[in-house]
Structure 1
Amino acid sequence: MEISNGAGNRFFARWTAFSYQKAIWVIVLAVVIAGFSVLYTVNNLGVHTDTTDMLSEDVPFRINHKRYKEAFPQYEDALLLVVDAPAPELAHAAAKRLTLYLQNDKDHFYEASYLSGDPFFEQNGLLYKNISELENITDQLAAAQPLIARLAENLTLKTFASVLTEAVDEITQGRNLELDGVFNGMSATLDARLTGIPRALSWQILLDGERQTGLYQELVLTRPKHDYAQLFAAERSLNAVREAALSIGLTQDAPEQLRITGEAALAYDELHSAMRGAQDAGMLALALVVVVLLIALRTAGAIITVMLSLVLGLILTAAFATFAVGHLNLISIAFAVLYIGLGVDYAIHFLLRHEEIRRTGAPVIQTLPMAGSDIGRALTICAVTTAIGFYAFIPTSYDGVAELGIISGSGMIISLLVTLTIVPALQRFFPIQPIKPLISVRPLHTALEWPIHARKSVYILTVLAVLLSVFALPKIRFDYNLLNLNDPRAESVMTFRDLLENAEDSPWHIIALADSRNETEQLVQQLSELPEVDKVISILDFVPDDQEEKLHLIEEMAMTLGPISFTSATQERIDVDLQRAALLNLQSALTRFLDEQPAHTSAHAAKNLHASILGLQQQLDALNENVAREKLLSAIEQDLLHLLPVSIHRLQLALNASPFTLQDIPESVKLHWLSGNGVYRIAVYPAENINDNDALKRFVRAVQHITPGATGVPVISLEAGKAVVDAFIHAFSLAFIGVVVALLILLRNIKSAVLVLVPLLLAALFTGAVTVLLGLPFNFANVIALPLILGIGIDCSVHMVHRSRNNGEAYENLLYTSTARAIFYSALTTMAGFGSLIFSHHQGTASMGLLLLVGVVLTLVCVLVILPVLLHAADNKRTV
């Protein structure tokens, strides 16, 4: 083989020859430059983990959100703390302790608020209930007052059982007493203790006339001080919250438990799971890539050459990123992954082409310039077209990807320069030797030759696949749900999903802003009429209606309850015999009641309580020591009675309610709904589960029709997704135009340009169809796989077309050349590298790995099956 007379071929031949001849100086210079680059990068490259900076500030929804942040900064990057407890009194007390602790921690938090625990709501909380609820509480309080009064004098299990015994005897004699709530509450509390899952009796629930079930939660909102100079900006504040929880007794074995979610916690868990997944996948990918390189190159010297060129290219690209951008974001940080996926291909193509030429037996000093002459132009076309594909993202509004485009596009040019300079220099020390097949490849040859013998079948299958893919294209969807990117097992994600199921506390609601009270009233009325809206809340809702009538009922409650105060508890030992006797008396009274009044409305509740007391007596009998019986009865007494003083105290506070107007609402409450500069905050809650993308669209668009300036997580998710989709459509349109122009200029042949583009377009079409088939939507994470698939598709097509057109390889020979082998092995390294991401816990990363794997496989099929048939047909037409 001789070096072509073309100027470009001679240039690349001289370049590689120079690098080989001056190998020591080239390598020394590369090491020096790499050292300076590492120092420069380490000292100057920053990391921005604030996801709100991913899109241009000029995007309308970001302008709206910025206004909201300025008016209500406490909701920006907040942590939402969820306190769970088996009784509302326990949740309330724990939330108050936690809030007070965090308010005093000025090193980690700007503020912390627990609105339900604000003194204003503790005093006036009953005014927010409706008339029927207040009437029910009054009736329940009237029925329970004698029991409460007796217990206030002597808060013991014996007194509780004795009073209930008297009450049971009275209803047995025909008196109308409502005891179902007490019976059910006591029965459930005894059963919980006996089954090993103790739960305190909630007297608040009892007086509300409800049944105590499940866990009760309170929400604490805190605004932490993040350090965005750190990779994990929220780590310090999250640790501070957990330390605070331990300090106030929210330990692992306590009845009250703390869960953390909110914007900051979700971002932290997402970054943590993404990096952990990338680290684990990276180790697996490295092992798989080394295996592929061993199969492809077979010698340690060749593998060292590839790895050294790859590392040098990464270092130089990182230095360029530091100089050109100055920082990495959560998307542009993927430049290293993209570079590995594409940059390693160049070295593989160069080495395998050199290996093929060396089979002639000529010395390296002759074969290396030949390889450079032959492969240099193809590598340049690949680098230029791939760089154009990345650079097309620069003018979009998606700043996160625009920065990725600058870095990765330039990285392709750097990879080309490194490959044509360092790889030839390293051939001086690690010259590649002719590679012998590991095994007989006759079956592989048979498979490769099938398309040429069945060209019609290939055409038919391709046309059918195209038609099916076109039919599937309208079903391609974008998942706007940011939760679906994260690790579903992360605490913040599970907690957030739990909150979404509760419409009362759903964190996914839209925020509308108004500049006056009249505008607020108008917006509330219009939004409330929308079928997509469940409820609308503003500061105006904090002034309850019918205050006079409600205050009358509250005064009646106060008279019913009377001046009750509990005596201080004394640590006296439990008299087991007296306690058991009191329980036996209650059990006997229940037996008589059930015998004499089997059809009574309270019979079912009484039967359950009778069975619970019987079970308790049996367990007491099973205990051998009196100390154990005393311990069990003490625990039962604690479960039943220790929340009663707390509940009565809270009720007494609420019985001091007084009428108020909007002006009387304290600043600690008002600042969450009315900013200092007069901006009103309006919360709009969805009627549907907006985890569904269609429901999300309906909800957001309906609200935006009334108030276009609305913001909040639903709006941001939808609008950010739309901006990302628009950015990628814009970018791919520019990329396609740029790639076409570049191919026409570099290949100087329309037919060759078309042949390069056809497999790329087919692979893209088929990839979109397979996403529909697999139910794999595009999302904010896996869309960055598209530039990589574009780059791989262009590179593979360019190499095949260049080898066929420039070297005149026939179909039968083309698939057995180093070019086809390099394409195959490059695809394997890419599949190994990115396929390992499928195992990541971060769902966005896993979906990106799956999408890449699908795209690379389909690209390989299009290039190694369809493209050779097209080249054969084009060659036949040319020779006719």
Structure 2
Amino acid sequence: MSVISAHSRSYRIFARWAEFCYQNAIGVILFVLVLTVLSTVYTVNNLGVHTDTTDMLSEDVPFRANHIRYKQSFSQYEDTLLLVLDAPTPEQAHAAAKRIATYLQQNNTQFPNTYYLSGDPFFEQNGLFFKSIPELGRITDHLATAQPLVARIAENPTLYTFSSILTEAIDELRAGRTLELEPVMNGVSATIDAQLAGKSRALSWQVLLSGEAQKASYQEFIVVKPELDYSQIFAAEEPIKLIRAAAQDMGLTADAAEKLRITGEVALAHDELNSAMHGAQDAGLLALVMVAGVLFIALRSAGAMLTVILSLILGLLLTAAFATVAVGYLNLISIAFAVLYIGLGVDYAIHFLLRHEELRKHSQSVAEALYKTGGDMGQSLLICAITTAIGFYAFMPTTYRGVAELGLISGTGMMISFLITMTLIPALQRFLPMRIGSSPTSITSINRILDLPRHFRKSVYALTTIAILVSAVTLPHIRFDYNLLNMNNPHAESVLTFQELLKNTEDSPWHIDILVDQFQETESVVQRLKALPEVDKVISILDLVPQEQAEKSLLIEEMALTLGPISFSPAAFQQANRHTVAQQRMALEKLNHALTQFIAEQPDHSAIASARILRSSLSDLLARLDKDALDNVQAEERLLSTLSKDLIGLLPESIERLQRALEAKPFTQETLPTTISTHWHSHDDAYRIAVYPSENIDDNDALRRFVHAVQSVVPSATGAPVISLEAGEAVVDAFIHAFSLALLGVILALWIMLRSITATALVLIPLLLATLFTGACTVLLGLPFNFANIIALPLLLGIGIDSSLHMVHRSRNTGAVYENLLHTSTARAIYYSALTTLVGFGSLVFSTHQGTAGMGLLLTVGLFLTLVCVLIILPVLLQSSSKKKANVA
């Protein structure tokens, strides 16, 4: 059987197919519409959405198996929200966290598990055992200094009492007594300055009693495991709303001293999906306008535009129905089938309609032109659909399930698009026929543009060679960004909070988890991990029982004796304004005078700097009070009342928590409460070890160093850093494997269908060049591949094959040389198809979701380079190939 006869047979089959659809237009259209409606109803009722990203990788991958075992042992740490409570003092942060935790624990239907470990009764009572002996000694000394101050304030909790006692302490310093008053003076000064600035900064007695300097902010963390509904697109939307509403009711508002922020894996996934969808919606509106404009320029007919859009919509709905039947759900990767379908499906419709328009210019009827169009385009469109489908199907054997499902759906979608193009478009020509007219100025302009490289053939070869060499040099620098945070909206609260926490490596939310089967193994594993320079600290069940408890108990008992039986009467605080404004001012003036005398008498004292700062603050306060006394008496009283509350308001809670901690008794491993031990010892007798990095692993290189170092000791390590790195490497391997399979499959399919090694090579050269140049551009633009934009590769593969195949097929079948080939509807269809896809996906660059924006940029660059390779380099190669054949002949 000759190639010509095979071609003529296929020509007749596709020609009659198009003719039949045109002649039976009403029946064909009704059949397609009824099929689509039934498919849509089935899809709406049965298609699910699965947003759990970890399930997109096969469970056979080793790191997935490790993670599944960890989830089974410590399920409380999977699918969690991390609540971060910020406050100016540790007392305020603790109180806010307690309120939120209590609400969550009571609402256990929506929040099955809530863990506020630092607020657990065990740690509240035994927290002092986890401090070192020198720390306990320092606290004891500071408590001895502060006890008289605390005891007298407890009797009379007023600003007057506080100022009077501090004045007496300054006088003691003047008399030569050794007192550590610097923390008190610094804290009081900061509180006064904040009040004068119109802000509230309470004095932390917990910090004062520990002998530390008060920081600008303190944090408490709550881990919440919400009830998620993965049948919904936003699985965590309801629990997050409930938490925010509860925080609002508790006064944790934007203008309050205490603030709540929500992050963690669930919040990050929620915000990522939210930004991706909103970004896609905004970009979709922009793309719709731009694509419609390009289609109108290309087709110059509202009817033709409607034909293309209708065929795309119906094909998309039928593909969604196939996804429902074959898979049953969409994941965050396979949901991109719609983007891929539109990007590739529009090509088939444009090629068919422009070829039909070209043939009708020869005074043929619609039926005759459709017969020839079907014959001319049927085979090339089928080859395009098959090769593109092969490219997608090649992803199915990979371990990356998300992409495997995308390959199955999109590959079949290409065949559906071919069937819709060959069936529906000829039928629609019965009612929306292409308009016949002379070549508009736009076509002439495009022909001139496409004709330019013909005059610079040697330059094209030279520039292509240079580009290949430059790209080859950059290829080793292509990288994959494993950091999932870099794909999210950088302005989202969850992302900003998470990145802030990552900088603090001591409590990094990204740490590695290790399981050991025997308690005896724990210590040896911990010691080997601590020896790694990439590791900051290692926490295990061994750390729950501190050393030297007997010595620490003696110090705790001494603290209890020093503090004594202090108690605060609520009634005393209700009578806090028993002193007049004049009396309170007098007490402040006496304190200011005492500080002035101390500074004058002992300029070399170690506390002189703190004394000067406090005197300056007091002077400013007294000046404000003088001004308020002249302007508004109530303002003076209000300022003093607020200052009194800020200075002594937290004292009762601080003393109460301290008294609770002073009741600590030594404990052993066996006496640990289950609320604590179950976080480190699971029900299936596994022991958990948490390993924290010494660097900020927001950086990819630091992440890789940390993970590989830990894996060198314990290969079965898991946790977010391991999953992120291993998933990224699995994705890269999957795409390399799939691309190799796709390339082999496409080469074989092209050779079988084209029956020519030369034609096959000519189809592949633009594709390979575009891939090479796109890879180089990712390096030059600083645009690494990631979990989102890597799906641009199969789209570029499909467009590259289709475009070059149309050119080669047209050149072979009609014998068109360079000059004529670029003036045909084929070249224009390639140009306009790429342009519609370019403006459509280019709009994604403006998405707030960085993964989507990066995908848009990569697609824009890749499509532009594909267009260059197909419309500039390939025609030059075809011309050279034609001349060689002519010379041989």
Fold similarity call, TM over 0.5: yes
Q: Does 1:283 align with 2:285?
A: yes
Q: Does 1:468 align with 2:470?
A: yes
Which whole-Å CA distance do the structure 2 matches of 1:838 and 1:68 have between them?
38
Q: Cα deviations across residues 146-190 of structure 1 (Å, max 9, x unaligned)?
A: 111111110100000001111111212222221111110000010
Partner SS state of residue 384, structure 2: helix
Q: Cα deviations across residues 481-504 of structure 1 (Å, max 9, x unaligned)?
A: 011111111111111111111122
Q: What displacement does 1:253 show?
A: 3.0
Stretch of structure 1 that moved more, 96-105 or 242-251? 242-251
Which whole-Å CA distance do the structure 1 matches of 2:276 and 2:370 have between them?
42
* 1:298 and 1:435 in contact (8 A); partners too: no
* 2:508 and 2:693 in contact (8 A); partners too: no
Partner SS state of residue 178, structure 2: coil
Which whole-Å CA distance do the structure 1 matches of 2:304 and 2:179 have between them?
91
Compared CA separation, residues 3 and 196, structure 1 to 2 (3 A): farther
Matching residue of 1:214: 216
Q: Within 5 Å, which residues of 2 pair with 1:317-336?
A: 317-336=319-338
* 2:505 and 2:695 in contact (8 A); partners too: no
Select the residue among 5, 9, 13 that pairs with 1:11: 13
Q: Which amino acid aligns with 2:634?
A: V
Partner SS state of residue 574, structure 2: coil
Q: Which amino acid aligns with 2:746?
A: V
Which whole-Å CA distance do the structure 1 matches of 2:196 and 2:212 have between them?
23
* 2:158 and 2:576 in contact (8 A); partners too: no
Select the residue among 749, 773, 777 that pairs with 1:742: 749
Q: Cα deviations across residues 511-564 of structure 1 (Å, max 9, x unaligned)?
A: 000111111111101111111111110010111111122112112211221121
Which whole-Å CA distance do the structure 2 matches of 1:521 and 1:587 have between them?
57
Q: What displacement does 1:252 show?
A: 3.2
Which whole-Å CA distance do the structure 2 matches of 1:59 and 1:5 have between them?
46
Q: Does 1:606 align with 2:608?
A: no
Compared CA separation, residues 326 and 435, structure 1 to 2 (3 A): farther
Matching residue of 2:379: 377
Structure 1: runs of 5 or more not aligned: none
Which whole-Å CA distance do the structure 1 matches of 2:396 and 2:853 have between them?
26
Compared CA separation, residues 691 and 228, structure 1 to 2 (3 A): same
Q: Does 1:154 align with 2:156?
A: yes
Q: What displacement does 1:38 show?
A: 1.0
Compared CA separation, residues 11 and 441, structure 1 to 2 (3 A): closer
Q: What displacement does 1:786 show?
A: 0.4
Matching residue of 1:365: 367
Q: What displacement does 1:3 show?
A: 13
Q: Cα deviations across residues 638-666 of structure 1 (Å, max 9, x unaligned)?
A: 10000011111111111111111111111
Partner SS state of residue 504, structure 1: helix
* 1:155 and 1:641 in contact (8 A); partners too: yes
Matching residue of 1:636: 643
Q: Cα deviations across residues 366-399 of structure 1 (Å, max 9, x unaligned)?
A: 1111111111111111111000000001111111
Q: What displacement does 1:251 show?
A: 2.9
* 1:3 and 1:10 in contact (8 A); partners too: no
Matching residue of 2:586: 581
Which whole-Å CA distance do the structure 2 matches of 1:86 and 1:340 have between them?
53
Q: What displacement does 1:572 show?
A: 4.9
Q: Cα deviations across residues 563-616 of structure 1 (Å, max 9, x unaligned)?
A: 211232224546211111110111111111111112211111111111111111
Q: What root-mean-square deviation, in Å, do the aligned CA atoms of Structure 1 and Structure 2 show?
A: 1.4
Q: Within 5 Å, which residues of 2 pair with 1:397-412?
A: 397-412=399-414
Select the residue among 676, 684, 708 that pairs with 1:701: 708
Stretch of structure 1 that moved more, 561-570 or 840-849? 561-570
Which whole-Å CA distance do the structure 2 matches of 1:467 and 1:572 have between them?
82
Partner SS state of residue 221, structure 2: strand
Structure 2: runs of 5 or more not aligned: none
Partner SS state of residue 506, structure 2: coil
Partner SS state of residue 230, structure 2: coil
Matching residue of 1:789: 796
Which whole-Å CA distance do the structure 2 matches of 1:823 and 1:425 have between them?
23
Matching residue of 2:766: 759
Q: Does 1:727 align with 2:734?
A: yes
Q: Does 1:457 align with 2:464?
A: no
Matching residue of 2:864: 857
Q: Which amino acid aligns with 2:574?
A: T
Partner SS state of residue 80, structure 1: strand
Compared CA separation, residues 117 and 434, structure 1 to 2 (3 A): same
Q: What displacement does 1:435 show?
A: 5.0
Q: Within 5 Å, which residues of 2 pair with 1:287-436?
A: 287-434=289-436, 436=438
Q: What displacement does 1:445 show?
A: 4.4
Matching residue of 1:477: 479
* 1:349 and 1:819 in contact (8 A); partners too: yes
Stretch of structure 1 that moved more, 612-621 or 792-801? 612-621
Q: Does 1:570 align with 2:577?
A: no
Select the residue among 622, 626, 636 that pairs with 1:621: 626
Matching residue of 1:93: 95
Select the residue among 761, 782, 798 that pairs with 1:775: 782
Select the residue among 849, 855, 859 that pairs with 1:848: 855
Matching residue of 1:195: 197
Q: Cα deviations across residues 224-244 of structure 1 (Å, max 9, x unaligned)?
A: 111111111111111121223
Q: Which amino acid aligns with 1:86?
A: P
* 2:506 and 2:537 in contact (8 A); partners too: no
Which whole-Å CA distance do the structure 2 matches of 1:676 and 1:326 have between them?
34
Compared CA separation, residues 518 and 3, structure 1 to 2 (3 A): closer
Which whole-Å CA distance do the structure 1 matches of 2:381 and 2:677 have between them?
64
Compared CA separation, residues 116 and 840, structure 1 to 2 (3 A): same
Partner SS state of residue 453, structure 2: helix
Partner SS state of residue 6, structure 1: helix
Q: What displacement does 1:207 show?
A: 1.4
Matching residue of 1:60: 62
Say how many residue pairs are matched.
879
* 2:191 and 2:647 in contact (8 A); partners too: yes
Which whole-Å CA distance do the structure 2 matches of 1:453 and 1:230 have between them?
58
Which whole-Å CA distance do the structure 2 matches of 1:222 and 1:695 have between them?
28
Which whole-Å CA distance do the structure 2 matches of 1:826 and 1:214 have between them?
58
Compared CA separation, residues 532 and 111, structure 1 to 2 (3 A): same
* 2:343 and 2:837 in contact (8 A); partners too: yes
* 2:157 and 2:576 in contact (8 A); partners too: no
Q: Cα deviations across residues 451-490 of structure 1 (Å, max 9, x unaligned)?
A: 2222221111111111110110000000000111111111
Q: What displacement does 1:119 show?
A: 1.0
Which whole-Å CA distance do the structure 2 matches of 1:12 and 1:3 have between them?
14
Which whole-Å CA distance do the structure 1 matches of 2:108 and 2:173 have between them?
58
Matching residue of 1:38: 40
Select the residue among 159, 176, 179 that pairs with 2:178: 176
Partner SS state of residue 770, structure 1: helix
Which whole-Å CA distance do the structure 1 matches of 2:442 and 2:480 have between them?
46
Q: TM-score, normalised by structure 2?
A: 0.97
Which whole-Å CA distance do the structure 1 matches of 2:339 and 2:424 have between them?
21
Q: TM-score, normalised by structure 1?
A: 0.98
Which whole-Å CA distance do the structure 2 matches of 1:438 and 1:584 have between them?
91
Matching residue of 2:560: 558
Which whole-Å CA distance do the structure 2 matches of 1:107 and 1:116 have between them?
23
Which whole-Å CA distance do the structure 2 matches of 1:596 and 1:535 have between them?
48
Partner SS state of residue 114, structure 2: strand
Which whole-Å CA distance do the structure 2 matches of 1:269 and 1:450 have between them?
48
Partner SS state of residue 454, structure 1: helix
* 2:90 and 2:218 in contact (8 A); partners too: yes
Q: Which amino acid aligns with 1:466?
A: I
Q: Does 1:667 align with 2:669?
A: no
Select the residue among 598, 601, 609 that pairs with 1:593: 598
Matching residue of 1:871: 878
Q: What displacement does 1:861 show?
A: 0.2
Q: Cα deviations across residues 133-154 of structure 1 (Å, max 9, x unaligned)?
A: 1111111111111111111110
Identity %: 64
